[in-house]
Amino acid sequence: MELLRPSSVEELDGGVPVHGGTEVVPLLREGLLAAETLVDVRGLVPRGTRDGVIGAGTTLAELEVDPSIPSALREACRLAASPQLRNMGSLGGNLLQATRCWYWRLGYPCRLHGGDRCHARDGEHREHAIFANGFCASAHPSDVAAALVALGARLRTNRRELAIEELYRLPDEDDRRTTTLEDGELILEVELPSVQASVYLKAMDRRRWSFPQVGVAAARVGSETRIALAGVAPIPWRIESAEDLDKVTPLPRTEWKVPLAQALVRRALAAVD
């Protein structure tokens, strides 16, 4: 395996981008990601915050103490992972996390791996999705992504600008990917609109170092109140209102997430009101 360290975005030519390594290294170790070439992009991706624009190379540890960013993002960072991981993990990398679905992690030939069934639907799925789970029942693990969706963030890559919601797509028969990021495309910056109030609430099965069972971000942006959830669908999941939680399609062992999501959404809305 080789490690390249290009000095400009123009020099990018294939390979697997790696920033903090907290996502890529475990995937390589488990054989879930194959790479001949790793590309250290720390020299290419901006780091730090100015005027509502956050470099995608900023670490979660830096963001959790940054008073200039909305509290939903700060809280999402603070409640993610462990201090060691947050010291290494970058904002951009966090958005591209793979699911924690154990079937996917253990290499079962599931739909996300290109197979023809979702093992979780018929199997052990107590941590899985309550929305959009017909094709693949995996749950998206990123607290930060849910916060950014609620905040209405926009992303700038080396090729385009897009709303964060356009970064994600539900996997389907023809395309099993959960993001729209192309090969060679790097998330460079995250731009946040001005936000009146925001909050991120997270249910975990222990007090720290746990992916969200359900995470709820809410933000008041102009006249709009935006809500997004983590841990409830294969991608970060936006709902228009609390009533959207009536439209869930839980699996037998994910029904418990519904009252939990309802309680957190109620609290989040009260917090930004």
Partner 1 sequence: MARLIRTEKEVEGRFEEVWIVVEEDPLEQWPEGPLSVVGRDAPRQDGSLRVRGEARYTADIKLPGMLHAAVLRSPHAHARVQRIDLAPALALPGVRAAIGPGEANGLEEEAGWAGAPVAAVAADTFAQARAAVEAVDVEWEELEVVLDPEDAVRRGLVTGEARRSERGDVDRAFAEADVIVEGTYRTQTVLHNSLETHQAICEWQGDTLHVYISTQYIWGIRQEVAETLGMPEDKVRVVCEFMGGGFGAKNSPDEYTFAAAELARRTGRPVRCALTRHEEHTSAGNRNSTIQRLRAAARSDGTILALEGEFFNSVGWSGWSSPTEGPMRALYACDNVRTVTHAAKLNAPPMKAFRAPGFAEGTFGLECLIEDLAARLEIDPLELRRSNYAESNEGTPYSSKNLEECYRLAEPHWERRHEVRARSDAVWKRGVGMASQIWYGGGGPPSYAWVRLGSDGRATVITAMQDIGTGTRTAMAQIAAEELRVPLEKVDVVLGDSARGPYASISAGSSTTPSMGPAVRAAAADAREQIEDIAEQRGLPKNTPVEEVVGLLEEAQILGKGARGPNPTGMSVLTFGVHVVEVAVDVETGEVRVERVAAIHDVGRIINPLGASSQVEGGVIQGIGHTLSEERLLDPETGRVLTTSLDAYRMPTIADVPEIVCEFVDKPDEHLTNLGSKGLGEPPIVPIAAAIANAIRDATGAEVHELPISREEMLRALEAAKEKERRGAPAAV
| Positions in the binding site for partner 1 (CB under 8 A) | 100, 102-103, 105-106, 119, 122-124, 126, 203, 205-211, 213, 253, 256, 259-260, 263-264, 266-267
DSSP conformation letters of 60-126: HHHHHT-TTS-HHHHHHHHTSS-HHHHHH-BHHHHHTPPP--HHHHTT--BGGGT-SB-HHHHS--T
Tokens of 188: 């460079």
The two three-digit tokens of residue 76, written as one number: 């999402």
Residue 93 sits at φ, ψ, to 5 deg, of -65, -40
Residue 132: both structure tokens together: 């959009």
Q: Report the residue number, 123 or 184, with the smaller CB distance to partner 1.
A: 123
Closest CB to partner 1 among residues 107, 193: 107
Shortest distance, position 91 Cβ to partner 1, whole Å:
20
CB 22 → partner 1: shortest distance, Å?
A: 11
Q: Is the CB of 168 or the CB of 211 nearer to partner 1? A: 211
Q: In the numeric block, which tokens belong to residue 10?
A: 């123009």
Closer to partner 1 by CB, 68 or 256: give it. Answer: 256
SS (H, E, C) 150-170: HHCCEEEECCCEEEHHHHECC
| Distance of alpha carbon 96 from alpha carbon 70, whole angstroms | 21
CB of 111 to partner 1, least distance (A): 16
| Least distance between partner 1 and beta carbon 267 (Å) | 8
- Cα separation, 188 vs 167, in Å, equals 13
State which residue, 3 or 163, has the beta carbon closest to partner 1.
3
Nearest residue (CB) to partner 1, 167 versus 229? 229
Cβ neighbour number for residue 19 with a 10 Å cutoff: 27
